[in-house]
Amino acid sequence: MNKTYKELYESSRKAKTAKSLSPNYVKWEKEGQQIIGAYISHSPVQSRLGEKEYNQYIFETDTGLTKFALGRSADAEITPQLGRGVVYAITFQGKESIAGGRSVNRFDIEEVGIADQVDNSSVESE
């Protein structure tokens, strides 16, 4: 028997098989803060200050989709190395002062493995 879209949605929610595609946003605030997950994608975002674009990344983590920015300095170094479906541990190392009274975020980024090695059955569903 065919279901309506609403019935399909309701049965998916009841079975806890619905997956939220709305990522949680993470702002880097404390040294040691960490995100561990599989790289999904990135997209350019215009700076509020009218400066050049920076990337916003989406990762699949143990708690679902997570969205964050690393900063333009890290983008140039890291983005070309990221592989879709590869698991990374990203640890915030704090801010470093640079010329002109500005600062940049510093990260330790480690490649951990591939997403196929992760049991997603415990990932929270919305």
All domains in the chain, ordered by first residue: 36-114 (2.40.50.140)
N- to C-terminal Cα distance for the chain? Answer: 26
SS3 category, 2? coil
Query: Is-contact 79 42, C-beta < 8 A?
Result: yes
What pLDDT is stored for residue 50 in this prediction? 62
Question: How far apart are the C-alpha atoms of 7 and 92, rounded to whole Å?
Answer: 43
Question: How far apart are the C-alpha atoms of 66 and 62, rounded to whole Å?
Answer: 10
SS3 category, 117? helix
Q: Which residues contact 15 (CB under 8 A, 6 or more apart)?
A: none
Residue-wise pLDDT for 17-58, tens only, equals 888 889 999 999 999 999 999 999 999 998 776 668 899 999
What pLDDT is stored for residue 96 in this prediction? 86
C-alpha dihedral, 15 to 66 to 89 to 110, nearest 10° = 120
Question: 126 falls in which pLDDT band (50, 70, 90)?
Answer: very low
Average pLDDT over residues 85-101: 91
What pLDDT is stored for residue 8 in this prediction? 94
